[in-house]
Amino acid sequence: MPRRRRHDDHDNHEAWAIPYGDLVTLLLAFFVVMYAMSSVNEGKYRVLSDSLTEAFHGTPRSPQPIEAGGTRLQPIEQLPLTQVHRMISSSMPVRHIVPAPEAPLQSRRSQVAAAPADLPAHDVAASFVEPGIAAPGSDLDQVAQDVSAALSSLIAAGHVRVRRTDSWVAVDISTDILFGSGVARLSVPAVEALQRLADTLKSFPNAVRVEGHTDDRRINTTAFPSNWELSAARAASVVHLFMDRGIAAQRLAVVGYGEFRPTMPNSSVTGRNANRRVEVLIFNRDGTADGPR
């Protein structure tokens, strides 16, 4: 009986299509990921960057840690931004104040000369105050000297500036030592310094206004849709601390200017650092601080 011949196996000439299809799929996924990475929300990126920095390296950058009573303050847990915003919004209503028109601000960033070591404490505090025109019978000179004495270390480091005019004393505080990027919660080292400032102001009856300022970099998060909300929330955080230290709420006011009151151009890192600030204005009168400058 004749033996059947085995049919030769035929080669599959279309086997190349399988790895080719896999390659095309991977390339498509790669370009989708690259496109998604190229569309970064700057505000959310700043918040994410600050959260990761604090998670792996501790609290946001600040000057040398401030010790209270010989004990160094330890970092505390960072709260979610939405919870911080709800706390600020529910604790105290923020009065939105429409300021009176004024001339464009001049550059107010200047170097602060160190006070001689052999001066008495009263003269050392006075040397930190930038002079202005004093109103007759005013106690603003004493306010300026006491505030400068309480914040002398930060003034010498260039983080705080005290200015004296005929109507108020202005305390300019860089937000870099108060808050992390894109958040309105006070950092731990800043709390003790602001408590010293509040304790100094508590002994005077003058009205106090806290103004928040940012640079021109945009932010768009759930808690802070724009720099208006961020600047007002930061000023409100300082006001809440002042209230906790015993300053009457009727003396306090909150203003958020966003990026619209710069002291220097935002075209450089130095200018943006100068524009990110909180200003505490101590007025030459008693009562509320809800009037224009």
Highest-pLDDT range among 32-36, 67-71, 134-138, 286-290 = 32-36
- pLDDT at position 178 over 60: yes
What whole-number distance in Å separates Cα of residue 265 and Cα of residue 166? 27
Higher confidence at residue 20 or residue 59? 20
* Inside any domain, residue 71: no
- The first and second tokens of residue 137, run together, are 């019978």
* Inside any domain, residue 243: yes
Highest-pLDDT range among 109-118, 132-141, 283-292 = 283-292
Q: pLDDT > 70: what percent of the chain?
A: 60
Q: Are 276 and 176 in contact (CB under 8 A)?
A: yes
What whole-number distance in Å separates Cα of residue 170 and Cα of residue 167? 10
DSSP-derived secondary structure letter, 266: T
* Inside any domain, residue 219: yes
- Whether the model clears a pTM of 0.75, i.e. scores above it, the answer is no
* Inside any domain, residue 193: yes
96 Ramachandran zone, left/alpha/beta (phi>0; psi -120 to 50): beta
* Inside any domain, residue 138: yes
CATH number of the domain that 183 lies in? Answer: 3.30.1330.60
Bridge partners, residue 130, by sequence: 163
Using 50, 70 and 90 to split pLDDT, how confident is the model at 97? very low
Count of structural domains, the chain: 1
* Inside any domain, residue 252: yes
* Inside any domain, residue 3: no
What whole-number distance in Å separates Cα of residue 120 and Cα of residue 116? 9
* Inside any domain, residue 26: no
Q: At 209, phi and psi to the nearest 5?
A: -120, 135
* Range(s) of the domain holding residue 240: 79-101+115-286
Distances (CA, A) of 269 to 104, 110, 156, 176, 290: 21, 16, 21, 12, 33
**Mean pLDDT, the chain, as a whole number?**
74
pLDDT of 107? 41
